[in-house]
Every structure is written in C-alpha cells, then in structure tokens.
Amino acid sequence: MSGGRGGHGGPDARDIVFVVFDGVKMLDVTGPAEVFADAHRFGARYRLGYVSPTGMPVRTSVGLRLPVDGAAESAPDPDTVIVAGGDVLAERPVAPDLVGAVRELAARSRRVVSICTGSFALAAAGLLDGRRATTHWQHASLLARTRPLVRVEPDALFVEDDGVFTSAGVSAGIDLALALLEQDHGPELTRTVARDLVMFMQRPGGQSQFSATLERRPPRTPSLRTVVDLVAARPDLDHSAPALAARVGVSPRQLTRMFATELQSTPARFVEQVRLDHARALLADGHGVAQVATRSGFGSAETMRRTFVNRLGLSPSQYRARFGTTRRGAEPRRTP
C-alpha cells in the first residue's frame, strides 16, 4: 500500500483504504483523504491507500483518471475502509465486483465507512442490515425503499452503528472524517485540522437545511387538492384544520383522514412544512426575518425561529447567512 499519497506512516500507522470505481465522485475521495493527510502532517500516523474492484485505475465523476494501489485483496488489513460514493450507485444495481471488494475488505477492518451513496454499496454487501444508516438526502427514500432491512435516517449528516459509519453527501464526508479523527486522536488535534481546512469541527443542523423544498404529488381527491393548492398559494392565511375543512365543506375529522391517507401527514404538519419551505425561499433571497415570518404565515419571528430550530437545527438568521443570495456580495461598491 503506497504511503506517498498520505504520508509514510511507519509500521504502526493506521491504514485507511479508499474503495473507488468508475464514476466515483472525486470529492467523496479527496475530501476525507485530506482530513487524514492533514492529520498526519500534524502528528497522527495514517497511511492512505486506494483500491478498485479490478485493481485498475478508475475514471472519476469529473473525468479525471485516478490511479490505485491495486485490487481489494492486495491491500493489507485496513484499520478503516472508506467506500466513496457516485451517482452510478443509486442509478443502477451495484456491480458484483464492487460488492465483493467491499465485503472482502470489511471482513478484515476495524471499521467501515461510506461517503454519500457509498451506502448503497454497503447495503448491497449486507453490511447495513438491521443497522441505522444515512445517505444523500436525494437518495434516502430510495435506499429505504430498496433496502427495507436498513433503518434509514434521512436528516443525519452521518450515523454510526456498531462500527459501521455512513454519511450524507460530499462535504458531510469531511464532517465524518473529522469525527473519526477525533475518535482516534481526540479533540485537540481534530480542532487543529478543522481550523487548517477552514471547517466546522461539528457542523450545526442536519441534511434538512440543504434539501430541496417540499415535493408532493397532487392529491387524487378534488377537495384535498383544493386545500393543498390554497395552502401553497397563500401560506399566510388561517390554515387551522377547522378553517381548511370549512373551505371545502368537510368535517375536520374527515379532512384529517384525507391527509393521513393521501399525504401521510396531518393538516398542521403539512401547513408547517409549506410555511417552512416558503420561509426558506424568502430567506435565501435575502428578505428580513420579521417580514418572512409574516409572509410565510408564522405570525411572529419567534414562532418561526422555534420551527426552524426544531426542524432544521438552526435559526432563520443562521439559515439566511448560510444560504442567502450572493448577489449583494458580488455587486461592486459605489463610491460617493
């Protein structure tokens, strides 16, 4: 296993082996690798290696050719196996040779890690059966649907379950690598590496802060569709269950049953989600918190703040600072 790509660790170094394949997402490899390489520079003893199912170089998602050290069976017993992600893992069945490589290395390692859709490879290898796991928010429902034995946690940035670690997309792989570094060497070195990489040591919030706005299919029931369209168009109106039911001539109990049957939600939960999505869009466009609270139907900035913290793990102001438009910053300064 080559030490040149991650530093010469010596005989007592921890071997970190990355499993790569054609179509692998480049950042899923280089992001976590930089954490361990940086840690090595600051005194930790890591040795990085890269293997592919065939032992041949692979073509990454950005078209670059990535050399490897060989096939999985040629790698020394690794301390940590990291299976990188790639869109191909969620778009089609995981290749048998990749499944075999993951199983072979996992059987010889202390811990197993997946980055982003690498979780699909772990699941195909049976390593997530009966375990909690996560993946990129766009693919969490697919993982849950196709792998019912996996307890998918769609909002988590990363999850550990009995030595098996899974993470969300791209940058969450760096978050997980920092967590693994802290597990190995404690918070002081981890803080040094995080500062050097200009990263949060522990990023606030979960995946919900990054996910797309509410996606829903139009309800089949005309009266429920009317209610849904009204809430989406005017989230600032009174949308209590009695008020919504009265608008379409049904009882609140009947309306609640319709929501549960077709949308797997309650009227209150649905309205809150629509208001949250509306507020996120306005905040991202740079609008003020108080104005957004009114236009989104929260009534007060404090009510909106509690909803954001409970659902996203960060306040409206923090959300706007993180995801707000960059247009203002790009505008040239005007001289008086």
Q: Model confidence at 281, in pLDDT bands (50, 70, 90)? A: confident
Going from the C-alpha of 207 to that of each of 2, 4, 21, 46, 212, the distances in angstroms are 35, 35, 26, 29, 10
Contact by Cβ (8 Å): 23, 59 = yes
How many CB atoms are located within 10 Å of the residue 170 CB?
16
286: how many CB neighbours lie within 10 A of its CB? 12
Backbone angles phi, psi at 204, to 5 degrees: -75, 150
Element containing residue 191 per DSSP (H, E) = helix 187-196
Cβ partners under 8 Å of residue 263, min gap 6 = 216, 219, 224, 228, 270
Mean pLDDT of the chain: 86
Percent pLDDT > 70 in the chain is 87
Asked whether the predicted pLDDT for residue 332 surpasses 50, the reply is: no
pLDDT value at residue 216: 58
**pLDDT tens-digit series, residues 183-199:** 999 988 988 888 888 77
Flag whether pLDDT at 151 surpasses 70. yes
Confidence of residue 4 (pLDDT cuts 50, 70, 90): very low
Residue from 95, 67, 314, 333 nearest 209 by CA: 314
Cα separation of the two ends of the chain: 62
203 band by pLDDT with thresholds 50, 70 and 90: low
Most confident of 50-54, 227-231, 276-280, 311-315: 50-54
The whole-angstrom separation of Cα 95 and Cα 103 is: 13
pLDDT at 328: 42
Lowest mean pLDDT among 2-6, 223-227, 262-266: 2-6
- Which range (48-62, 106-120, 257-271) has the least confidence? 257-271
Range with the poorest average pLDDT among 73-77, 123-127, 187-191, 215-219: 215-219
Read off the pTM: 0.65
Q: Is 255:231 a contact under the CB 8 Å cutoff? A: no
